[in-house]
Structure 1
Amino acid sequence: MTPSSESALLRPDLGRLAVHIVLLAYTALALFPIALILINSLKSRAAIFDDPLALPSAATLSLVGFQKVLSATNFLLFYGNSLVVTLGSLLLIVLFGAMAAWALSEYSFRGNRLLALFLALGIMIPIRLGTVSILELMVALNLTNTLLALVLVYTAQGLPLAVMILTEFMRQVPGELKDAARCDGVGEFKIFFQVILPLVRPAIATVAVFTMIPAWNDLWFPLILAPSEHTQTVTLGVQQFIGQYATDWSSVLAALSLAVLPMLLMYAIFSRQLIRGLTAGAVK
């Protein structure tokens, strides 16, 4: 084997190695803030300021932050409110988004493209620009300080992206499969729920991840639409530990650690489907 052929064989390996190095560096950069929060949530306030990068030791280990969060506040209530809002909006986004995507991808009707363009505008225009109008609407409907208001807003926020992703996936479902089901006398609803939805599970997982994280982490709309104590979400409940002149960092980091755990768990559950959905969308 000549030196030129050996160098040609080494180039792909070097390229893959460079890609893996870049991906590992990005992973470390993305996980560093989460690791820093988890590490410092298990330390005393003095230890946090002395060496925030150090791991907890026998002298610095402290659970006082978690004790304050669970005993001095209604954190479990805030937790439950966030779960209700996130899961409720996620269910509506997946259901209505899949139904709209099925209609746009399967049926030809006048205004099909115009409707798809209208939904795509929802991705480009931030929903926060309509905060005043949304607040006026919720006041008129008597929905302020209710979790339903947040569910409706997050559903409207997540639907455009869900429709776009699911429409592209549903267009890839073979037409012969749907025609065969129709020839067997299967109705449209059964085709949709029993044939189409199982085939687009990777797309549904992708939609779930991209919509539940903004809903869980949002502070803007809970602060405006549901600021009362019985409707506060986790992100809004954390703010009570942040004062104008002093901040209880042990409690803040403990609350953030508890808040990030559901998202890590959901990502671990949906990660395989998410990767399948992203890679399938990349080659279509």
Structure 2
Amino acid sequence: MRESAGIRIGQYAVASLFALVSLYPIFLMLLSSLKTNIEIFKSPMALPESWSLDAYRKLLDQVPYFDYFWNSAAVSVISVALVLIFGSLASFYIARFHFKWNAALFFFFLIGMMIPIKLGIVPLFMLMKQMQLLNTITSLVLVYTAIGIPLSVLILTGFFRTLPKELEEAGRIDGCSNMKVLLNIIVPLMRPALGTVMIMNFITVWNDFFFPLIFVQEEEKKTIPVGMLTLFSEYSTDWSVLFAGLTLSSLPMMILFAVASRQFMEGMTAGAVK
């Protein structure tokens, strides 16, 4: 009994150490946003000598931060919603309807994870230009949806296959169509997998710097990662303002993970235990 208690204490100690190492950079970022530049260079690890929100005021004065924020929010929410919708439909079809090209179709989606989409940035740019989608949120939504669907199909197809078919058969006996079976019976059981797909895609879209830099040049349509680039000057950088912007931009991800963390953990471990 004592041996098992000692093992558990050791496990908690290791977990606490990993949590401390993971959370310390976030804590340091928050502290730096409350310091002056002199304090950041003089004592980067210490607490602020005087707690001040001047960096946040400067941030809102120097850049249209809320415009960047809403652009990032719109792109992230719309892209993740489309990934969940199309990924669920494709996964349900692949997992539950068997036909000649079933395996080939599943492999076709997996190819999207094997080939880096950035290799095709020139054709993508020309395509967006021909479609007159440059400097629009639509161009980013289309790219992020295409990037997110392969991973969502991989996760959701595996989760679909773990669900008993008897549930769907009972729904069809009651007169449900395939769409009603998916929406009313399957989707409520898929919250862990959907939560996993949602968090992983949201973080990818929210933090992406590459595609907004290529497709969006107008200041009022930039997202947070590209908009924050204006805070870097050639000879000097106001690091306290930069840390303030990073702190604000990290809040949505932390809130999302806090809300959906249970579903995320269940989705990551689904199928690990019989």
The TM-score range, normalised by the shorter chain, is over 0.9
Q: Which amino acid aligns with 2:82?
A: L
* Cα offset, 1:26, TM superposition: 2.1
The equivalent residue for 1:209 is 199
The equivalent residue for 2:29 is 37
The equivalent residue for 2:109 is 119
* Cα offset, 1:242, TM superposition: 0.9
Q: Deviations over 1:115-161 (max 9, x none)?
A: 11121122222222221121111111111110011011111111111
The equivalent residue for 1:189 is 179
Is 1:68 the counterpart of 2:55? The answer is no
* Cα offset, 1:72, TM superposition: 2.2
The equivalent residue for 1:106 is 96
Deviates more, 1:164-173 or 1:94-103: 164-173
Q: Which amino acid aligns with 1:26?
A: F
The equivalent residue for 1:78 is 68
Q: Deviations over 1:177-227 (max 9, x none)?
A: 110111111111111111111110110000011110010001000000113
Is 1:243 the counterpart of 2:233? The answer is yes
Q: Which amino acid aligns with 1:111?
A: W
The equivalent residue for 1:51 is 43
Tell me how far apart the structure 1 counterparts of residues 273 and 267 of structure 2 sit (CA, whole Å).
10
Q: Which amino acid aligns with 1:166?
A: L
1:165 is aligned, of 155, 158, 163, to 155
* Cα offset, 1:62, TM superposition: 2.4
Q: Which amino acid aligns with 2:93?
A: A
Tell me how far apart the structure 1 counterparts of residues 157 and 200 of structure 2 sit (CA, whole Å).
16
The equivalent residue for 1:228 is 218
Query: Any gaps of 5 or more consecutive residues in structure 1?
Result: 1-5
Question: RMSD of the TM alignment (CA)?
Answer: 1.5
Is 1:151 the counterpart of 2:146? The answer is no
1:177 is aligned, of 157, 164, 167, to 167
Q: Deviations over 1:62-100 (max 9, x none)?
A: 222111111222110000000000000000000000000
Tell me how far apart the structure 1 counterparts of residues 127 and 18 of structure 2 sit (CA, whole Å).
42
Tell me how far apart the structure 2 counterparts of residues 263 and 46 of structure 1 sit (CA, whole Å).
29
Q: Which amino acid aligns with 2:244?
A: A
**Secondary structure at the residue paired with 1:280?**
coil
Deviates more, 1:46-55 or 1:92-101: 46-55
Tell me how far apart the structure 2 counterparts of residues 76 and 97 of structure 1 sit (CA, whole Å).
31
Q: Which amino acid aligns with 2:43?
A: D
Deviates more, 1:239-248 or 1:21-30: 21-30
The equivalent residue for 1:3 is none
Deviates more, 1:122-131 or 1:47-56: 122-131
1:257 is aligned, of 235, 241, 247, to 247
Tell me how far apart the structure 2 counterparts of residues 178 and 213 of structure 1 sit (CA, whole Å).
33
Tell me how far apart the structure 1 counterparts of residues 203 and 175 of structure 2 sit (CA, whole Å).
40
* Cα offset, 1:14, TM superposition: 4.5
Percent of residue pairs bearing the same amino acid type: 40
1:92 is aligned, of 82, 91, 105, to 82
Deviates more, 1:207-216 or 1:113-122: 113-122
2:12 is aligned, of 20, 27, 35, to 20
* Cα offset, 1:256, TM superposition: 0.4
Residues 283 and 125 (structure 1), Cα distance of their counterparts in 2 relative to 1, 3 Å cut: farther
Q: Is the 8 A contact 2:33 2:240 kept in 1?
A: yes
Q: Is the 8 A contact 2:79 2:145 kept in 1?
A: yes
Tell me how far apart the structure 2 counterparts of residues 124 and 22 of structure 1 sit (CA, whole Å).
35
The TM-score normalised by the length of structure 1 is: 0.92
Q: Which amino acid aligns with 2:210?
A: W
